[in-house]
Amino acid sequence: MHPVLVKIGPLTFHTYGLFVAGAILAAVWMGSRLAKARGISPEKVMDLTFYAVLAGLAGARLFYVLLNPSLFRGDWLGILRVWEGGLVFYGGFIGALTAVLVYIRRHRLAGGTIFDILAVAAPLGHAIGRIGCFFAGCCHGKVCDLPWAVTFTDPMTLAHPVGVPLHPTQLYEAFANLLIFALLSALYHRKKFANRLFLVYVMVYGIARAIIEIFRGDPRGFLFDGMLSTSQALGLTAATVAALLLVVLHIRNKRADR
């Protein structure tokens, strides 16, 4: 692929950075659009998104560094070069979620509605961001001989091994996120799972991520003697907790209707 989009003199513009910027803009646009339709100030959503993005990037990079400390030995300034690739979704999720909770409480916003909006906007942005991963070569798959396998040849790619067909796991996840976006958009506009849509997002994405992790081939953290990747464990745990909360809320609503 093409990890470097263009070079202008001493400046290098990475394709990954372009797609991350596009992902943020798409998520902000979708969130503002949905917020305006619900009578929520789009400016509030943009402010919230700004803080969530900053906290999310910090959390995503921190998790990546903690899981891959050897990559930064002797090059600690490399930690700041986020535009070159190297973010962990669940680290970003935790960072962004913390920022959103603080913002909602401080500005006394309707938490259920805000999280419903985020549940629709997040997978759209995530899908675009994963295409950036594809160009950078990070989050790549295992070696395979499938017809749709991709071969990375650029010497600057983060994929390994170079010149060998690999599962395009970045595109698997981009496609999965687009499906999740379509599903949650439909549920949102039909007012299904109102104030609970974020839990549906966490559950569905957690399952999808755990499945895609099976085909990942990049070096990352593992648990239980390599049986589960860290992201698989987090995804399955988050999906289980979200599913249980959905059941509890459903039972509680049933009782309240009696």
List residues forming the annotated binding site. Answer: 130
Residue 199 CB neighbours (<10 A): 21
> For residues 208 and 109, what is the distance between their CA atoms, to the nearest angstrom?
30
What residue type is assigned to position 110 of the chain?
A
Separation CA 124–CA 114 (nearest Å): 16
Rg, the chain, Cα only:
19
* Contact predicate 87/64, CB 8 Å: yes
Nearest to 246 by CA among 238, 258, 235: 238
Picking from 109, 118, 97, 71, the residue whose alpha carbon sits closest to that of residue 221 is 71
b/e code 149-187 from CB counts within 10 Å (16+ = b): ebebeeeebbbeeeeebbbbbbbbbbebbbebbeebbeb
